[in-house]
A and B are shown apart, each in its own frame.
Chain A
């Protein structure tokens, strides 16, 4: 463990990534102390006389949104929702997807086929309809978002991991390990998983960005976080048509999502290298 941390620590980019994530977490947690305004306060003079949002300036650092609210304060509060959804919902999806994908790919046979047909079934549903209907059971809010995103996202991961596993498990060294009497669990953990980590990292990190946007879609349909609660995806979604006339409304929350996803990617790369001591050289 000490070893692992030492290796991780030496990766400058990974440390920067981790620090950024922590910073975002702190900003979200302490938003009430840091934010200059109430994120839901709609200022009468937060809009121009024609009702357009205000550009970034002295009073509103990141400008105002289409309701005349302080965008900086909304961004800080929005970190709470977006981090939770991006990390938790997508994390659940990655874990379920990877586990089922590897299992199906390694076992194959009837069990494998059953899992893959389940992914076909899940894939074939329009996620939006799923979300709309789920709201009949659950109250709109975080719970629905997390359930829907986890339900929707795991499928893709499972299929991609499955096909990679199928390819890997036909490799000679796996056959060799099997011949030497290694149990399935050992093969899975020692021989398959390390090779799958790059793919899993791609999904875990890029998935954060798409998840935050999916959240916006669900909120728009009235199934996600309901207004006025700020969330980064929703902030972009609500104002995307303003993108030519008030670009800050899209670029600022967009940058926040990008920074979050990139930071996770750096940490992911660092983790992989730290976990796999034989592959330390980054030159490839």
Chain B
């Protein structure tokens, strides 16, 4: 039986990584203030699922696995090492020594089991419950037939053994997503309904205080298992802060990071100011903005019409509309995602060709509706798409609505066209599979599902399952190639019109230091709080 050993390199990589910043050694100490417009909903790792609480949770809690800071590369975190059986059905994790929760109690294997079962237990109402469906006993627990998952065993305090019902190459990623983060049972039970308001984890920062609608304060966890991090002593998140005002406050030194990004209205001005040259970090995101076309209804049940839409959209103009904060998208996957096909140029902008296709399809004078979320810049992007569609004879009325309404219109199949901006934001984990099942696969084609194109291809689903069954390390490349093939073929079927891949521009104060990659971390959005430092620290 061949086993793969992966040693913990966390400390090494962390200390090697951060000094890249400016040739400066990161300083220990100091504080940073991050602003957000919306209040956080919860800090319960099994429940929180929006882009703001996602990375705050990552700083308070840890999973068995994590990613190297600023990258999409997996590494063990709470686990010291792990092994995978040949058939890919058994994963054995060994926990690090000396792990402690913020309340001082040592972390044991039972905590890992408890946390994952908590995610699947229907009482938790975790949006991530479905992610762990390959673990044996998932269905029994999620339907209430069992109290625990038979596929998680804890032979001793330091060992967790997972038994899967099917091999799944994304399993290690799932051990790194928030829903699987380790929580102390006694604190969860003690806090009851307030657990999401007073989290206790193992992560780099300890929770101090949450004044709803105002701020959350975290402080450095002295006992953090990675020596030397975090650098900051104190991290404050302020809420209800309009980004326009936050930018002014940053100029005055009151704020260190504008969490919502640079508002379009101030973008040109800020970028043009030479003083900001070193204060803006630019990086790729795992994001694709796309238009879904409901393939179950005319006219978009016709492949030629869908291809025509792909050719009609002037992506260059839309990229300019978003201040060039992105690149034109050629395919469903973003360039930073494994499986992205650099050779695939997608559909090129060709309104004449699009008109010809429509004529061939016998679908001229189409009237339809384009749903979009009503937060800037989405209505503007929708209007740009509307104009491009009008140019080839597709009259699309815009329905610019609140997020919950657009999601409902997409999920119920009522919306012929949906602009995804502001909703299907970003990948949960950096693997092509995460861009498929929920939003392009048959599993998402249900009432309330997120496959708004309602595109279901059993053949692609089978290929996807086959790809994800390739779990051995020497199959990794073949697996990515298989996914690449699937996405290339999806593009030919054109259930989506990919428009652009967003780049992140993070504006931070001169006080803060750290590699630009940390300020545009593809996993921690907007910033990897654990590794940035204050230059005026001790």
A residues with a Cβ closer than 8 A to B are 40-42, 44, 47-52, 66-68, 132, 140, 220-222, 226-228, 238-239, 241-246
A239→B386 CA distance, assembly (Å): 19
Known pairs A222-B401, A226-B400; list 20 more (Cβ under 8 Å). A40-B387, A49-B320, A50-B267, A50-B268, A50-B271, A51-B324, A52-B323, A66-B380, A67-B321, A67-B380, A221-B401, A226-B399, A228-B383, A228-B387, A228-B398, A238-B380, A242-B264, A244-B265, A245-B265, A245-B268
List chain B residues, Cβ under 8 A from A243: 265
The SS class assigned to the A binding surface is loop
A244→B243 CA distance, assembly (Å): 13
A241→B37 CA distance, assembly (Å): 14
C-beta contact mask, B47-88 vs A, less than 8 Å → 1, else 0? 000000000000000000000000000000000000000000
Contact indicator B317/A44 (Cβ below 8 Å): yes
Contact indicator A222/B400 (Cβ below 8 Å): yes
Contact indicator A66/B382 (Cβ below 8 Å): no
List chain A residues, Cβ under 8 A from B489: none
List chain B residues, Cβ under 8 A from A244: 244, 265-266
Name A242's closest neighbour in chain B (CB-CB): B265
Q: Take A241-B265, A244-B266, A245-B265 as given contacts and tell me if A222 and B320 are in contact as well, using a CB distance cutoff of 8 Å.
A: no
List chain B residues, Cβ under 8 A from A245: 265-266, 268-269
Contact indicator A227/B400 (Cβ below 8 Å): yes
Contact indicator B265/A42 (Cβ below 8 Å): no
List chain B residues, Cβ under 8 A from A140: 399
List chain A residues, Cβ under 8 A from B405: 222
A245→B374 CA distance, assembly (Å): 22
List chain A residues, Cβ under 8 A from B374: 220-222
C-beta contact mask, B246-286 vs A, less than 8 Å → 1, else 0? 00000000000000000111111101000000000000000
Does B376 sit within 8 A of A, measured CB to CB?
Answer: yes
Contact indicator A226/B397 (Cβ below 8 Å): yes
Return the 4 tightest CB-CB contacts between A and B, nearest first: A222-B401, A242-B265, A51-B323, A50-B268
Contact indicator B401/A246 (Cβ below 8 Å): no
List chain A residues, Cβ under 8 A from B384: 42, 67
User: Of A44, A52, A132, A227, which one neighbours B398 at CB under 8 angstroms?
Assistant: A227
A76→B14 CA distance, assembly (Å): 60
A243→B383 CA distance, assembly (Å): 21
Does B402 sit within 8 A of A, measured CB to CB?
Answer: yes
List chain B residues, Cβ under 8 A from A48: 268
CB distance from B351 to the nearest CB of A (A): 13
CB distance from A89 to the nearest CB of B (A): 21
A159→B474 CA distance, assembly (Å): 78
User: Of A221, A226, A228, A241, which one neighbours B376 at CB under 8 angstroms?
Assistant: A241
Contact indicator A47/B379 (Cβ below 8 Å): no
Q: Considering only CB atoms and an 8 Å cut-off, how many residues of chain B contact the other chain?
A: 32
Q: List 15 A-B contacts (CB under 8 A).
A: A47-B321, A49-B320, A51-B267, A51-B322, A51-B323, A68-B321, A221-B374, A221-B401, A222-B400, A227-B386, A228-B386, A242-B264, A243-B265, A244-B244, A245-B266
CB distance from A71 to the nearest CB of B (A): 15
A222→B398 CA distance, assembly (Å): 9
Name A220's closest neighbour in chain B (CB-CB): B374
User: Of A51, A226, A241, which one neighbours B321 at CB under 8 angstroms?
Assistant: A51
User: Of B264, B271, B321, B402, which one neighbours A222 at CB under 8 angstroms?
Assistant: B402
Name B263's closest neighbour in chain A (CB-CB): A241
Contact indicator B379/A227 (Cβ below 8 Å): yes
CB distance from A51 to the nearest CB of B (A): 4
List chain A residues, Cβ under 8 A from B402: 132, 221-222
Name B377's closest neighbour in chain A (CB-CB): A66
C-beta contact mask, B309-343 vs A, less than 8 Å → 1, else 0? 00000100100111110000000000000000000
A221→B402 CA distance, assembly (Å): 7
Q: Take A226-B398, A241-B376 as given contacts and tell me if A47 and B320 are in contact as well, using a CB distance cutoff of 8 Å.
A: yes
Name A141's closest neighbour in chain B (CB-CB): B397
List chain B residues, Cβ under 8 A from A239: 265
Contact indicator B379/A238 (Cβ below 8 Å): yes
List chain A residues, Cβ under 8 A from B324: 49-51
List chain B residues, Cβ under 8 A from A238: 376, 379-380
List chain A residues, Cβ under 8 A from B266: 244-245
CB distance from B528 to the nearest CB of A (A): 28
List chain A residues, Cβ under 8 A from B399: 140, 222, 226
Name A241's closest neighbour in chain B (CB-CB): B265
CB distance from B247 to the nearest CB of A (A): 10
Contact indicator B271/A67 (Cβ below 8 Å): no
Contact indicator B400/A52 (Cβ below 8 Å): no
Name A246's closest neighbour in chain B (CB-CB): B265
List chain B residues, Cβ under 8 A from A52: 267-268, 323
Name A239's closest neighbour in chain B (CB-CB): B265
C-beta contact mask, B292-323 vs A, less than 8 Å → 1, else 0? 00000000000000000000001001001111
Contacting residues of chain B (184-230) with chain A, CB-CB under 8 angstroms: none
Q: Which among B322, B383, B384, B397 has the greatest number of chain A C-beta atoms within 10 A?
A: B383
A66→B265 CA distance, assembly (Å): 9
A40→B384 CA distance, assembly (Å): 10
Contact indicator B268/A51 (Cβ below 8 Å): yes
List chain A residues, Cβ under 8 A from B400: 220, 222, 226-227
Name B267's closest neighbour in chain A (CB-CB): A50
Contact indicator A227/B383 (Cβ below 8 Å): yes
A41→B386 CA distance, assembly (Å): 11
List chain B residues, Cβ under 8 A from A241: 244, 263-265, 376
List chain B residues, Cβ under 8 A from A66: 264, 321, 380
A244→B247 CA distance, assembly (Å): 12
List chain A residues, Cβ under 8 A from B376: 238, 241
List chain B residues, Cβ under 8 A from A47: 320-321
List chain A residues, Cβ under 8 A from B321: 47, 51, 66-68
A200→B534 CA distance, assembly (Å): 61
A239→B397 CA distance, assembly (Å): 21
A251→B82 CA distance, assembly (Å): 63
A245→B248 CA distance, assembly (Å): 13
